[in-house]
Amino acid sequence: MVQYVVARLLWLIPTILAMALVTFLVMHATPGSPLDPIAEGANPLPPEAQKVLAKHYGLDKPLWHQFGIFVAKAARGDFGFSFVYKTRTVAEILRETFPISLFLGSMALALAVAGGLTLGILAAVYQNRGWDYVSVSLATVGVAVPNFVLAVFLIILFSFVVPLFPTGGWESPRTWVLPTITLAAAPMGIIARFTRASMLEVIRADYTLTARAKGLSETPVIFKHALKNALIPIVTLLGPMFAAVGTGSFFVESIFRVPGMGRFFVQSMTGRDYPMIMAVVLTYGVFLAIMNLAVDLAYGALDPRIRY
Amino acid sequence: MGLSTPASGTNVTAGPRPLADPDGIRAPLPVAVEAGAELRSSSLWRDAIRRLLRNRLAMAGGIVVALLCLIAIFADVLAPRPYTKTNFGRLNEAPTRDYLLGTDQLGRDLLSRMIYGARVSMLVGLGAQIIVVSIGVPIGALSGYLGGRADLFLTRFIDVMYAFPRLLFVILVMSMLGAGLTNIFIAIGLTGWVGIARQTRAQVLAIKEKEFVDAARGLGAGFARLLSRHILPNAMTPIVVAVTFGIPEAIFTEAALSFIGVGINPPTPSWGQMVGEGQQYIRSYWHLCVFPSIAIAVTMLAFTFFGDGVRDALDPKMK
């Protein structure tokens, strides 16, 4: 067990290094440079000034050298100054925005898990009847409709037609509602679909028949005997779902004007903000890798047949 | 990211598929192997098609998909105006009889732009899958068949690619290549082949151990013939399922890229880009983003229902 965790954690290092290298190479192969950006607020600079700036930011060194410096600094949590927000370090910006994204993501995940399980169980218990169709349709809509499209519909419905929630911002809990629902829709659909399939399989299993045969009523059969076993494969879904929520927040955050990390990603791309791009990609990567590890461990804890 | 991946992901770990010639009964004669395999496999496909035709939701999805393809092909005929024609006297107009879906910020006909937008979506959906399959299937098949160091390298590489949030990587590649239709193909192709390669590899690994493959090898079938005539035809089912789910995923990716402005180059209309631009004026001019949003939603739903139907038809156990 300990050995497994240590091995997995050690594997993180080459994985993240590979990710950093790929991102670094793609980024530097990009035409355009941070000294001559196409982003807002840029002004064309004379070549001498560009040279001085390049030297200041270390962009005049060969690429492998730049990468080495980056890795050495990043290992200490120093990602340097943002090229776009010149007075702030990347670490500062991330410290401010990452918690907001994390908070939004956690709320969305909680909603997705609660809603998805409910829909999935309902669908399986009432297979091929009304509730099944309702929840399968809801789940399919959640999976299929992109979140930025869903956001448009939700804003029209709940901000204009029935003015319940504001169209954006992040000041009060009321502003949290629409972004959370939007971000939760896709993972909720995924969970609902898998819960349904998994429950259907378990409900047909012999031990469920046994539970019924010994005279248990429907509620304990479903919740104590069936659900517990059906949940095991669902846990593996949580890994890819963190990714869905993470990348989903680019769109949700920019539509609902949430001051999180997602918005910076696109801005930093077009602004060729090298330190920011690297930091955002790596933050997502490390976060995902750790979450995947946590999911694998939880899986082992839930299913005693799995040994590491 | 693909958000629809988990749906296709179900098949990754599932055991061996129904095979055309599972027991190798027909193996002894080379002629019989092929004739038999084709006979049985064609009936497998025919059964699947019959099941698909009976699935009403899937057929509804299929009809919408067919309509969208027709709209895309005949966009020139169907669109009432050229998609670049501006009318500065009538900006941001709500739907009227002249402009059925209204006009945009430059006074262009929204309906015409949506019709041409279908062309972009369909092109990306189908074109990207052709690229993905033609990279992913050979690599996956070779890696599964050859095994050894090449296989180890590939699986490691796939693991790293999976560690990347996919959409994030596509955005990264797009900002490197610049906006444009060809670049979208390249970006989706570069990232999308990984999933299909993994699926193909798993299939080939399972099938290459079967007796009928041994039999064919014993009869002197070479490496290329074994792969192309015996192993790959039996590995098709999950690949077909992956492709049917890959199409809406590619359409989603294009819409998402265009939404944030690194997808299709203006003035070529793309639904995602229309939603992205229109969404900023949602309070004043709702029609600018609502109609393209509906188009994206309907397209995605149609492909998803159709894809679900294809999966259920090919793999009735999943139902």
Tens-digit pLDDT profile for residues A187-197: 899 899 888 88
The residue behind tokens 């999911």 is A295
> Is B94:B102 a contact under the CB 8 Å cutoff?
yes
How crowded is residue A223: how many other Cβ atoms within 10 Å of its Cβ?
Answer: 11
> Considering only CB atoms, which chain B residues are within 8 Å of A15?
159-160, 163
Ranges A24-38, A79-93, B215-229, B263-277: which has the least confidence: A24-38
**B109: β partners:** B103
Contact at CB, A251 and B6, closer than 8 angstroms:
no
Q: Which tokens belong to B99?
A: 């402009």
Q: From residue B257, how far is each of A1, A15, B297 by CA, in Å?
A: 42, 26, 16
> Which is higher by pLDDT, B61 or A56?
B61
> Is A202:A230 a contact under the CB 8 Å cutoff?
yes
Q: How confident is the model at residue B31, as a pLDDT?
A: 44
Alpha-carbon distance A104 to A215, whole Å? 44
Q: State the nearest Cα–Cα gap between B23 and chain A, in angstroms.
A: 28
Q: Which tokens belong to B269?
A: 């209309």
As to burial, measured by CB atoms within 10 angstroms (0-12 exposed, 13-18 middle, 19+ buried), residue A50 is: middle
Contact at CB, B160 and A18, closer than 8 angstroms:
yes
pTM: 0.79
Task: Give the tens place of pLDDT for each residue, A208-266.
Answer: 888 888 888 888 888 888 888 888 778 877 776 776 687 677 888 888 888 888 777 77
Contact at CB, A144 and B297, closer than 8 angstroms:
yes
Residues 6+ apart with CB under 8 A from B121: B68, B72, B251, B254, B255, B270, B271, B296, B299
Alpha-carbon distance B289 to A255, whole Å? 12
pLDDT above 60 (res A139): yes
> Considering only CB atoms, which chain B residues are within 8 Å of A284?
165, 168
How much of chain A, in percent, has pLDDT values that exceed 70? 91
How much of chain A, in percent, has pLDDT values that exceed 90? 8
Instruction: Please name which of B210, B200, B188, B190 lies closest in space to residue B151, comparing C-alpha atoms.
Output: B200
The stretches in chain B having pLDDT less than 70 are 1-42, 163-164, 316-319
Looking at chain B, how many residues does it have?
319
Three-state secondary-structure class, residue A81: strand
Report the residue of chain A nearest B1, measured CA to CA.
Answer: A244
Q: From residue B155, how far is each of A164, B194, B199, B200 by CA, in Å?
A: 50, 10, 11, 12
Alpha-carbon distance A52 to A50, whole Å? 5
Q: How confident is the model at residue A35, as a pLDDT?
A: 63
Instruction: Please name which of A170, A302, A186, A306 lies closest in space to residue A242, comparing C-alpha atoms.
Output: A186
Alpha-carbon distance B165 to B2, whole Å? 9
Rounded to 5 degrees, φ, ψ at A89 are: -80, 155
The residue behind tokens 């631009």 is B277
Report the residue of chain A nearest B4, measured CA to CA.
Answer: A143
Q: How confident is the model at residue B299, as a pLDDT?
A: 92
Q: How confident is the model at residue B16, as a pLDDT?
A: 42
Contact at CB, B248 and A140, closer than 8 angstroms:
no
Quickly state the pLDDT bin for A130 (edges 50, 70, 90). Answer: confident
Q: How confident is the model at residue A44, as a pLDDT?
A: 65
Looking at chain A, how many residues does it have?
308
Contact at CB, B275 and A152, closer than 8 angstroms:
yes
Q: State the nearest Cα–Cα gap between B169 and chain A, in angstroms.
A: 8
Contact at CB, B7 and A145, closer than 8 angstroms:
no
Q: How confident is the model at residue A269, as a pLDDT?
A: 72
> Is A264:A280 a contact under the CB 8 Å cutoff?
yes
Of A60-64, A223-227, A302-306, where does the model show the most confidence? A223-227
> Considering only CB atoms, which chain A residues are within 8 Å of B158?
none
* Interface with B, mutate which of A148, A161, A204, A277 (most B CBs under 10 A): A148
> Considering only CB atoms, which chain B residues are within 8 Å of A151?
279
- ipTM > 0.90 (yes/no): no
> Considering only CB atoms, which chain A residues are within 8 Å of B283?
160, 167
Alpha-carbon distance B25 to B40, whole Å? 12
Report the residue of chain A nearest B288, measured CA to CA.
Answer: A152
Contact at CB, B172 and A23, closer than 8 angstroms:
yes
> Considering only CB atoms, which chain A residues are within 8 Å of B14?
none
Q: How confident is the model at residue B21, as a pLDDT?
A: 43
Q: Which tokens belong to B113?
A: 């732009």
Contact at CB, A193 and B7, closer than 8 angstroms:
yes
Alpha-carbon distance A272 to A28, whole Å? 9
**B103: β partners:** B109
Q: How far is residue A83 CA from its own chain's centroid? A: 25
Quickly state the pLDDT bin for A308 (edges 50, 70, 90). Answer: low
Q: From residue A231, how far is each of A199, A208, B82 by CA, in Å?
A: 8, 15, 54
pLDDT above 90 (res A114): yes
Q: Which tokens belong to A250?
A: 């680019």
Single-letter amino acid code for the residue at A195: T
- Looking at residue B229, the DSSP 8-state letter turns out to be I
- Report the residue from B6, B297, B305 with minimal CB separation from A190: B6
